Structure 1
Amino acid sequence: MFAWLANAWRVPELRKRLLFTAMILALYRLGSWIPAPGVDSEAIDQYLSSTGGIFNLLNLFSGGALSQFSLFALGIMPYVTASIILQLMTVVIPRLSELQKEGESGTAKINQYTRYLTVVLSAAQALGYAFLFKNQGILEANAGRMVLIIVTLTVGSVLLMWMGEQITKRGIGNGISILIFASILTGLPLGVTAWWNGGPMERIFFPLIGIAIVAAVVFVQEGQRKIPIQYAKRMVGRRMTSGGSTYLPLRVNMAGVIPVIFAAAILAFPPTVASYFPQTQDFINTYFQPGDWLYLTIEGVMIIVFTFFYTAVQFNPVDQADNLRKHGGYIPGIRPGPPTAQYLDRVLTRLTLPGSLFLAAVAVAPSLFIRYGGFSQANARALGGTSVLIAVGVALDTMRQMESQMMMRNYEGFLR
């Protein structure tokens, strides 16, 4: 592994991308400690610590910036929520569906709409937090100061969106996922401290369970079924192409960690709405906390639904069958055309179901460890759920991108 990393550092283009990503992450962490103007960070941190619940999850995705009520307090979740809304609207609005099929120009238009919606959602969430903290008496600000705070948080969220896009374009990996990955890693020292201060049984079993969960996540994320593809001989111009055989890889979890991020973003929306209504806020604090069965059930169902939805967006069996037929390919024993599409759809459904159930099970694992296993909250958050799924998934995707860069330059890869 160290030899592979040394080879990666010797590649000038890859080295520039790594340094650029590191620079953006350093700026992100710096902005997470710059408080919004006129804010008492200690009072807000004490309030969030005493409230706990879903605010701990929101603070996790912001890398601790919410507890500081800093420039990046909203994190990248408004952009993720906007992406979810646009993808759902693409299915029901014909105009957006047509844009999606237009290639790069249509994708650029949809991305532009996503940015506009991100600004709206960021402003609404910043307004909700400002009203919540003002109603709780921990934020003393007049109308002018409130406007300044809302604008500051909105600009911070938009800046994070831009930073994520720059990482995707000029760095390594998916920028949005990398920012969430960095936010989750900031909670690792707290988890290690909680493990060290835990009881004897917790010290023994916590590392073992953690290794088992990471191994299971890697096993499912990398699991795939290879569909054999046979190509017949055919004439292309004046040349006869020789037939051959290959395979079509269908992953068990083709959606990756996107369903978990989507579910977390949607579940973070009710507290924002409830902050405008005190009675609703009391209901959220009482019945809609991450450890409650209602929250866990909704989270699990949403992860399963989003897994099927995003898999359908990523892989269209009809289009794949048409492409195979146009290039003279077929699945042995399956007729080309609609029978091939039906076969691929059936196989994909059978693969996606256990993958979605696995994602849902790992996502709710921390709360079950807290409730029945006697683990502390810091340990359980570091052990499983969204943190492990996102961290491992993003790490694997980033390694694949670096792997492709290395293979292009005839270096032996790390993933074998």
Structure 2
Amino acid sequence: MKGFIQTLKNIWSIKELRDKLIFTFVLVLVYRFGTHVSLPAINMVEVDNILDIYKNNGGNQQATGLLGLLSSFTGGAFSKASIFALGIMPYISASIVVQLMGLAIPYIQKLQKEGESGRKKVNQITRWLTILICLIQAPAYLTSITQVFLPIEQFRTAYLVDPNNIFLFWIPSIIILISGTIFAMWMGEKITDKGIGNGISILIMVGILAGFPTAFVQEIGVQMGDTGKGLIMMFVEVLAWLLVIILCIMLTVAVRKVPVQYVSRTKSGSLRSITNAARQYIPLKVNAAGVMPIIFAQALMFIPGLLVRSETTTNTFWAGFSQVFSWQYNLLFAILIIVFTFFYTAITIPINQMADDLKRNGGLIPRVKPGKETADFLDDVLSKITLPGAIYLALIAVLPAIVKIIGLTATDKFALFFGGTSLLIMVGVLLDTVQQINTYLLNHHYDGLMQSRLSRNPN
């Protein structure tokens, strides 16, 4: 505990790091404040009442499940008809599209290799694509809150203007939703440039964490109630949740180190012996795809729900694909994650380029010939570690359904924090942020040592 307090003091003593943390904290507060500012045409009090009635009186499980999951990424802004209802997700979608375009469009590939200037142009393309996606998602969102969440005529009091009026409701609301996403995107970029950590990821993480206190309190209330299992069960849940976090950390940081030897040269240009060469390694991540396979699979899982939407009963095999915690839904979800993990890893890890770079820089893998054999060796290693990584990722993704089916948790909201995209994003962002803070602390310590040494020996 003393070490932790001392670390906090060290962080606060570094002015640059302190300013970055304060800047990040202020922008996060602005983002959270915006999630509670509703669209001008919506009465938030009535919206909250309608959502409660809709969920308690036979609301579609597909809507309360998948749409609730989407709302968690925006910190509840999606379900609150907020100016940040679309959140930062259109920017994430645009970034994924641009990344995939880089594999097929030579112009994007050229920009990605031009360094800083190319990166700025790619970012500009991503911003324009974000606006285009918002132009599609904003009307779709407004349609959902007028036809899905507010289907009953007596609840029309939630609208301050006629929801069918194009000029008073639709056009202003679309402009505000697009502006909210652009502003959130700007804040994320500013956090990355002047704050600490990846700004876009931090905004997503904050949105996810915003729902945790409410979910935890609800879980305690149910478990401590008349139908609950008591304090012991709550203690077991917390221990299980901490264990899942440890498993997520292990998946995030796990790497397979492929040893590499770089042959050095003498001043005359002749090669030194390999035994005296510099020894390094190539870190191949067990989960090189990150959370992208889950995001891709989650996007496709809306399709089965739409196909079975016309079902009149929930006791059929096909109707299970529209229920987030059903075994049918999660089995298909896990299969899609494994498939997308291999796909995304194959298109994002440049095996041939890595082999060519090694050969060009005088590097070689022991007992493997440079060139094609090196590429084949790296591809074989990557395939072997990707399979268990994909299964591991799929298991974590469906873990909320597992804990719900076995009865470990009493509420759906708390079950969602036992795995899935939410927990993986939180773990990844926190690890990255802590790593950046540690880098600042180490650099400050190194500078201090150098200054102390120079003061003792100015010559």
Which TM-score band applies after superposition, normalised by the shorter structure?
A: 0.7 to 0.9
Q: What is the RMSD computed on CA atoms of the aligned residues? A: 2.9
Q: How many angstroms apart in 1 are the aligned matches of 2:268 and 2:113?
A: 29
Instruction: Assess if the C-alpha contact under 8 Å between 1:195 and 1:206 holds in 2.
Output: no
Corresponding position: 1:16 with 2:40: no
> Which of the numbers 203, 211, 217 marks the counterpart of 1:179?
203
Letter of the 2:394 counterpart: A
Asked which structure has the greater CA Rg, the reply is: 2
- Structure 2 unaligned regions, length at least 5: 448-459
Instruction: Assess if the C-alpha contact under 8 Å between 2:263 and 2:271 holds in 1.
Output: no
Residues 182-191 or 110-119, more deviating: 110-119
SS of structure 2 residue aligned to 1:226: strand
SS of structure 2 residue aligned to 1:36: coil
Q: TM-score, normalised by structure 2?
A: 0.80
Q: How many angstroms apart in 2 are the aligned matches of 1:153 and 1:25?
A: 19
> Which of the numbers 167, 179, 183 marks the counterpart of 2:191?
167
1:36 Cα deviation after fit: 0.6
- Structure 1 unaligned regions, length at least 5: none
1:281 Cα deviation after fit: 6.5
Q: TM-score, normalised by structure 1?
A: 0.88
1:256 Cα deviation after fit: 3.0
Going from structure 1 to structure 2, the CA distance change for 1:246 and 1:184 (only over 3 Å counts) comes to same
CA deviation string 1:259-313 (max 9, x = no partner): 434544x358769x97xxxx99757996534234554345334433443344345
Q: How many angstroms apart in 1 are the aligned matches of 2:99 and 2:328?
A: 26
Letter of the 1:361 counterpart: L
Q: How many angstroms apart in 2 are the aligned matches of 1:302 and 1:81?
A: 18
The residue aligned with 1:35 is: 38
SS of structure 2 residue aligned to 1:247: strand
Letter of the 1:172 counterpart: I
Q: How many angstroms apart in 1 are the aligned matches of 2:171 and 2:365?
A: 61
Q: How many angstroms apart in 1 are the aligned matches of 2:260 and 2:17?
A: 34
CA deviation string 1:193-239 (max 9, x = no partner): 12312122631321121011011111222222222222223146779
Letter of the 2:30 counterpart: L
Residues 23-32 or 125-134, more deviating: 125-134
The residue aligned with 1:300 is: 334
Instruction: Assess if the C-alpha contact under 8 Å between 2:103 and 2:347 holds in 1.
Output: no
CA deviation string 1:47-102 (max 9, x = no partner): 44514121211110110112221111111111111222222232233333333333
CA deviation string 1:146-192 (max 9, x = no partner): 21111111110111111111111111111111111101111111222
> Number of residue pairs matched?
406
1:18 Cα deviation after fit: 1.0
Q: How many angstroms apart in 2 are the aligned matches of 1:4 and 1:37?
A: 45
Instruction: Assess if the C-alpha contact under 8 Å between 1:177 and 1:394 holds in 2.
Output: yes
> Which of the numbers 126, 143, 157 marks the counterpart of 2:166?
143
Instruction: Assess if the C-alpha contact under 8 Å between 1:255 and 1:311 holds in 2.
Output: yes
The residue aligned with 1:372 is: 406
> Which of the numbers 65, 70, 92 marks the counterpart of 2:104?
92
Q: How many angstroms apart in 2 are the aligned matches of 1:231 and 1:263?
A: 40
Going from structure 1 to structure 2, the CA distance change for 1:211 and 1:14 (only over 3 Å counts) comes to same
The residue aligned with 1:118 is: 130
Instruction: Assess if the C-alpha contact under 8 Å between 1:100 and 1:106 holds in 2.
Output: yes
Residues 305-314 or 29-38, more deviating: 305-314
Instruction: Assess if the C-alpha contact under 8 Å between 2:301 and 2:333 holds in 1.
Output: no
Q: How many angstroms apart in 2 are the aligned matches of 1:81 and 1:133?
A: 22
Q: How does 1:13-412 map to 2 (within 5 A)?
A: 13-49=16-52, 50=55, 51=59, 52-135=64-147, 136=151, 137=153, 138=156, 139=159, 140-141=162-163, 142-144=165-167, 145-197=169-221, 198=223, 199=228, 200=230, 202-235=233-266, 243-264=277-298, 266-267=299-300, 287-293=321-327, 295-312=329-346, 314-373=348-407, 375=409, 376-410=411-445
SS of structure 1 residue aligned to 2:259: strand
Instruction: Assess if the C-alpha contact under 8 Å between 1:76 and 1:161 holds in 2.
Output: yes
The share of aligned pairs that are identical, in percent, is: 39
